[in-house]
């Protein structure tokens, strides 16, 4: 189970509900949750939209939070 899927389930949201609220395609969300697409490579705006709906930090849904180092230069 991916971090994104765990977070979604902890908020009692269906995939459809999360996708609609975040303004993303439900199939895209399914790909992220199934690992067919790597959430860490998603567009930053997509990640932010998901975090806003889930009321969480970016690190909470990424599989490798160290990926943020490339944005923050740490």
Residue 17: give its domain's CATH number.
1.10.260.40
pLDDT at 73: 64
pLDDT at 43: 92
pLDDT for residue 74 is more than 60: no
48 inside domain: yes
38 inside domain: yes
Q: Distance between alpha carbon 2 and the CA centroid of its chain, in Å? A: 9
Counted domains in the chain: 1
Task: Look over the chain and give the mean of its residue pLDDT values, rounded to a whole number.
Answer: 92
> How far is it, in rounded angstroms, from Cα 56 to Cα 25?
20
pLDDT for residue 20 is more than 80: yes
At residue 40's C-alpha, the angle toward residues 35 and 41, to 5°, is: 95
Q: Widest CA span of the chain, in angstroms?
A: 36
74 inside domain: no
Q: Give the residue numbers spanning the domain of 48.
A: 3-64
Q: What is the pTM of this model?
A: 0.88
Indicate the pLDDT class of residue 46, thresholds 50, 70 and 90: very high
Q: How many beta carbons lie within 10 A of that of residue 66, not counting itself? A: 10
Place of tokens 């994104």: 4
């Amino acid at each position: 189970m991916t971090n994104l899927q765990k977070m979604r389930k902890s908020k009692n949201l269906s995939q459809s509900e999360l996708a609609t609220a975040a303004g993303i395609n439900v199939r895209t969300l399914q790909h992220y949750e199934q690992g067919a697409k790597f959430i860490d490579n998603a567009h930053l705006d997509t990640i932010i939209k998901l975090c806003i709906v889930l009321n969480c930090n970016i690190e909470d849904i990424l599989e490798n939070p160290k990926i943020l180092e490339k944005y923050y230069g740490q």
